[in-house]
Chains A and B, each alone.
Chain A
Amino acid sequence: MTGEGRPRIFLVDDHAVFRSGVRAELGHAVDVIGEADEVDAAVEMINERVPDVVLLDVHLPGGGGEAVLRGVLPRHPEMRFLALSVSDAPEDVIAVIRAGARGYITKTISGEELLAAVERVGAGDAVFSPRLAGFVLDAFAHGGDGRHPPIGLDPELDQLSPREREVLRLIARGYTYKEVARDLTISSKTVESHVSSVLRKLQLSTRHELTKWATDRRLI
Chain B
Amino acid sequence: MVAGVCGGISAMIGIDVTLVRIGFVLLTLGSGVGVLAYALAWLFVPLDGETTTIFSRAIGDRRGLRLVIALVPLLIVVQIVSTALHIGYLGSFSWPLFIAAGCAILIRRNASGEERVWINDDLIPTLHSGTDQHSRRTLFLRVTVGGALGIAGLVVLLLGHPSSAALRPIGGALLVIAAIVVVFGPWWLTLVRDLIAERQARAMAEERAQMAAHVHDSVLQTLALIQRSADDPRNVVRLARAQERELRSWLFEGRPPGTIGDEATTLSEGIGLIQRQIEADHGITVHVVVVGDCALTDGLRALLDASREATVNAAKWSGAPQVSLYAEVERDVVMLFVRDRGRGFDPGAIPDDRQGIARSIRARMVRFGGSAVVRSSVGDGTEVELSMPRREPPP
Shortest C-beta distance, A29 to chain B (Å), equals 22
Q: Which of B39-47, B152-160, B283-291 contacts A (4 or more CB under 8 A)?
A: B283-291
Question: Is A7 close to B, CB under 8 A?
Answer: no
Question: Is A108 close to B, CB under 8 A?
Answer: yes
**CA gap between A138 and B328 in the complex, in Å:** 9
Q: Which residue of B lies closest to A132 (CB)?
A: B289
Shortest C-beta distance, B342 to chain A (Å), equals 12
- Residues A130 and B328 in contact in the complex (CB < 8 Å), given A138-B292, A173-B339: no
Shortest C-beta distance, A162 to chain B (Å), equals 13
A122-136 vs B: 1/0 string, CB under 8 Å? 000000001101100
B289 proximity list for chain A (CB < 8 A): 130-131, 133-134, 172-173
**CA gap between A175 and B380 in the complex, in Å:** 12
Shortest C-beta distance, A64 to chain B (Å), equals 19
Contact size range, B: 10 to 19
Question: Is A98 close to B, CB under 8 A?
Answer: no
Query: Of B291, B339, B341, B383, which is within 8 A of A134 by CB?
Result: B291
Shortest C-beta distance, A145 to chain B (Å), equals 8
Question: Is B98 close to A, CB under 8 A?
Answer: no
Contacting pair B285 A172 (CB below 8 A): no
Contacting pair B328 A137 (CB below 8 A): yes
Shortest C-beta distance, A68 to chain B (Å), equals 26
Question: Is B326 close to A, CB under 8 A?
Answer: yes
Question: Is A174 close to B, CB under 8 A?
Answer: yes
Contacting pair A130 B291 (CB below 8 A): no
**CA gap between A137 and B341 in the complex, in Å:** 23
B222 proximity list for chain A (CB < 8 A): none
Q: Which residue of B lies closest to A176 (CB)?
A: B341
Question: Is B82 close to A, CB under 8 A?
Answer: no
Contacting pair A137 B324 (CB below 8 A): no
Q: Which residue of B lies closest to A130 (CB)?
A: B289
Shortest C-beta distance, A45 to chain B (Å), equals 31
Question: Is B55 close to A, CB under 8 A?
Answer: no
**CA gap between A137 and B293 in the complex, in Å:** 12
Contacting pair A169 B328 (CB below 8 A): yes
**B-contacting residues, A158-174, CB 8 Å:** 169, 172-174
Question: Is B368 close to A, CB under 8 A?
Answer: no
Contacting pair A173 B292 (CB below 8 A): no
Contacting pair B324 A174 (CB below 8 A): yes
Q: Which residue of A lies closest to B341 (CB)?
A: A174
Main SS of the interface on chain B? strand
Question: Is B337 close to A, CB under 8 A?
Answer: yes
B290 proximity list for chain A (CB < 8 A): 134
Contacting pair B326 A172 (CB below 8 A): yes
Question: Is A60 close to B, CB under 8 A?
Answer: no
**CA gap between A131 and B327 in the complex, in Å:** 12
Shortest C-beta distance, B15 to chain A (Å), equals 66
**CA gap between A137 and B292 in the complex, in Å:** 9
- Residues A141 and B292 in contact in the complex (CB < 8 Å), given A134-B326, A174-B326: yes
Query: Of A138, A174, A175, which is within 8 A of B291 by CB?
Result: A138
Shortest C-beta distance, B311 to chain A (Å), equals 12
**CA gap between A130 and B337 in the complex, in Å:** 13
**A-contacting residues, B288-341, CB 8 Å:** 289-292, 324, 326, 328, 337, 339, 341
A108 proximity list for chain B (CB < 8 A): 285
Contacting pair B292 A174 (CB below 8 A): no
**CA gap between A175 and B287 in the complex, in Å:** 12
Contacting pair B326 A173 (CB below 8 A): yes
**CA gap between A108 and B383 in the complex, in Å:** 22
Shortest C-beta distance, B230 to chain A (Å), equals 17
**CA gap between A174 and B326 in the complex, in Å:** 8
**CA gap between A169 and B337 in the complex, in Å:** 10
Q: Which residue of A lies closest to B244 (CB)?
A: A86
A174 proximity list for chain B (CB < 8 A): 287, 324, 326, 337, 339, 341
Q: Which residue of B lies closest to A139 (CB)?
A: B291
Q: Which residue of A lies closest to B383 (CB)?
A: A173
Contacting pair A141 B291 (CB below 8 A): yes
Contacting pair A130 B326 (CB below 8 A): yes
**Quick one: which of B289, B292, B337 has the most chain A CB within 10 A?**
B289
15 contacts between A and B (CB under 8 A): A130-B326, A131-B289, A134-B290, A134-B291, A137-B291, A141-B292, A169-B328, A172-B326, A172-B328, A173-B324, A173-B326, A173-B337, A174-B324, A174-B337, A174-B339
Top 10 closest A-B pairs, CB basis?
A: A174-B324, A134-B289, A173-B326, A137-B291, A172-B289, A173-B337, A138-B291, A174-B339, A172-B326, A130-B289
